[in-house]
Amino acid sequence: MTTTFTDETRERAREIIARYPADRSRSALLPLLHLVQSEEGYVSPAGVAFCAEVLGLNKAQVGAVATFYTMYKRKPTGDFLVSVCTNTMCNVLGGQEVYDTLAEHLGVGHDETTADGKITLEHAECLAACDYGPVMTVNYDFFDGVDSSTAVGVVDELRAGGRPMPTRGARLCTLKEMAVQLAGFADERDGAVADGGPGEPTLRGLRLAQQHGVSVPGFDPNTPIRSKAEADKAAAQAKAAEAAAKPAEAPAPQVGPVKGGDGASAPTGTPGNAGVGEPAPAAAATGSTAPDVKAPDDKSPQVRTAETRQPDAATAVPDAPGTKVPAETSPPAPRDAQEAEAAGVAANEPAGDGKPAGDSTGAQERNLNEASASADGATSTVASETGAQK
Ligand code: FES
């Protein structure tokens, strides 16, 4: 199948894949699904095929992931996805009322889109902001403490072309624009990366604990939150201090050859190995009893990943548009991984031929035979559905 994705999307796909080690590129699937959603507004069959193609997966594997997570939409979605939390906390605070009011006002139900293509409404499970309930999100930006009236005001403004401000973060963007961010690309707009302390509703439990004298022994609430660099530095200093305070280990006593159980000479080794006939791995490699300490790698994960993916990137000419990294730049996978991959490929044809993986004639016949061989009507149904998906 020929996908229709733009060069920009393909370039972004290359960037996403390069974030991961070469033999772990399939880990890029989640952001890639957001990426294809950013172009089409949902994960279409072409989007599934695209992800499968660039990651060397089959469509069934991609589809299994895309259908598992609710953030990947399987049908065209409006510019603004309005999610109203109707879970326990929000529900008792009025979340269901907000949802019902919006459904009636917009004339749509759960997972349905208004005729103008602007709004898709859904009810959501806990949106992890119970302290601000009832909450709703628009393209995953929060509106805290909403009621029916404010919720209707938000959707009306959106349908009129406005971009309301959420309770936190930058002014609302479209779902496609948000999908670009979810794929891991920064939102450059002012205020997009908000910072600041927790709000009063979040601190309410802390205030009550203080009021009632409940505390965790030894916990200092004024403990500063350090940056990662500061934390790494402190950890390194603590480790160095611990090493300096540790008394030097006495060298292992030199003992002569000892007889093993079979009467053969056994090499000298640590006490734990005496009689086993095997030196400790570190001692075997270096002749030392010191622990195997690797030099600290102070490169950022991004640099390591880029070096792993393209070791000669500094001099390389950029590849033509397309996202698949040439196989020759990938280090060989471990042997067991290669065997597993070969078995997987044998069982599921890779995508790229315009058909879903596993939809070869043989596979289809197999599904049909299984379906017809089963006397159980339910089993037949499942097998048929499986065949239909593939
Ligand atoms: S119950 Fe609504 S955010 Fe948790």
Q: What is the CATH number of the domain that holds 306?
A: 1.10.10.1590
Least confident of 208-212, 238-242, 249-253: 249-253
Cβ–ligand 1 contact at 266 (below 6 Å): no
152 and 28 co-located in one domain: no
Does one domain contain both 162 and 84?
Answer: yes
Residue 72 CA, chain-centre distance (Å), reads 13
Q: How far is the CA of 147 from the centre of ligand 1 (A)?
A: 14
C-alpha angle 48-54-59 in degrees, rounded to nearest 5? 35
- % pLDDT > 90, the chain: 44
Residues 46 and 124 in one domain: no
Tokens coding 111: 């997972």
Do 316 and 178 have their domain in common? yes
Does one domain contain both 356 and 384?
A: yes
Band (pLDDT 50/70/90 cuts) for residue 9 is: very high
pLDDT at 387: 36
Question: Do 55 and 101 fall within a single domain?
Answer: no
What's the pTM value of the predicted model, to 2 decimals? Answer: 0.58
Whether the CB-CB separation of 333 and 23 falls below 8 Å is answered with: yes
Q: With a cut of 80, say whether residue 332 has pLDDT above it.
A: no
* Contact 178 CB / ligand 1 (< 6 Å): no
Whether residue 123 has its Cβ less than 6 Å from ligand 1: no
Would residue 56 count as lying in a domain?
Answer: yes
46 plus 14 within the same structural domain: yes
Q: What is the mean pLDDT of residues 192-207?
A: 77
Span from the CA of 126 to the centroid of ligand 1 (angstroms): 4
Q: Which helix (H) or strand (E) holds 253?
A: none
Is the CB of 382 within 6 Å of ligand 1?
Answer: no
For residues 85 and 148, membership in a common domain is answered with: yes
For residue 315, pLDDT over 50 is answered with no
- Who wins on pLDDT, 216 or 354? 216
CB of 89 closer than 6 angstroms to any ligand 1 atom? yes
Q: Which atom of ligand 1 is nearest to the CA of 86?
A: 2
Domain membership flag for residue 48 = yes
Measured over the CA atoms of residue 304, residue 5, residue 67 and residue 361, the dihedral's sign is: negative
Q: Is the CB of 133 under 6 A from ligand 1?
A: yes
Q: Helix, strand, or coil here: 113?
A: strand
φ, ψ at 99 (rounded to 5°): -60, -50
Q: Based on the domain organization, do 16 and 159 belong to the same domain?
A: no
Question: Is 152 in the same domain as 115?
Answer: yes
136 CB less than 6 Å from ligand 1?
A: no
Atom of ligand 1 nearest to the CA of 126: 4
Ligand 1 site-directed mutation target among 135, 142, 146, most atoms within 8 Å of CB = 135
Q: Is residue 60 part of a domain?
A: yes
Asked whether residue 29 is assigned to any structural domain, the reply reads yes
Whether 146 and 93 map to the same domain: the answer is yes
**Residue range(s) defining the domain that contains residue 326:** 1-74+174-189+299-334
Q: Is residue 231 part of a domain?
A: no
Give Cα 27 distance to the centre of its chain: 8
Say if ligand 1 is within 6 A of residue 113 CB: no
- In the chain, the percentage of residues whose pLDDT exceeds 70 is 60
Find the 38 Cα to ligand 1 centroid distance in Å: 27
371-385 mean pLDDT: 42
The residue whose two tokens read 């004639």 is 361
241 is a domain residue: no
Q: Which has the higher per-residue pLDDT, 356 or 158?
A: 158
Number of H helices, E strands in the chain: 15, 7
Residue 359 pLDDT > 60? no
Our count of domains for the chain comes to: 3
* Ligand 1: centre distance to CA 28 (Å): 29
127 lines ligand 1 (CB under 6 A): yes
Considering the domain boundaries, does residue 212 fall inside one? no
- The CA 92 to ligand 1 mean position distance, Å, reads 10
Question: CB of 90 closer than 6 A to ligand 1?
Answer: yes
Mean residue pLDDT of the chain comes to: 74
Q: How far is the CA of 130 from the centre of ligand 1 (A)?
A: 4
Residue 201 Cβ contacting ligand 1 at under 6 Å: no
CA of 95, closest atom in ligand 1: 2
Residue 290 is assigned to a structural domain of this protein: no
CA 105, CA 84: separation in Å to the nearest integer?
A: 14
19 and 96 share one domain = no
66 Cα to the center of ligand 1, angstroms: 24
CATH, residue 118:
3.40.30.10
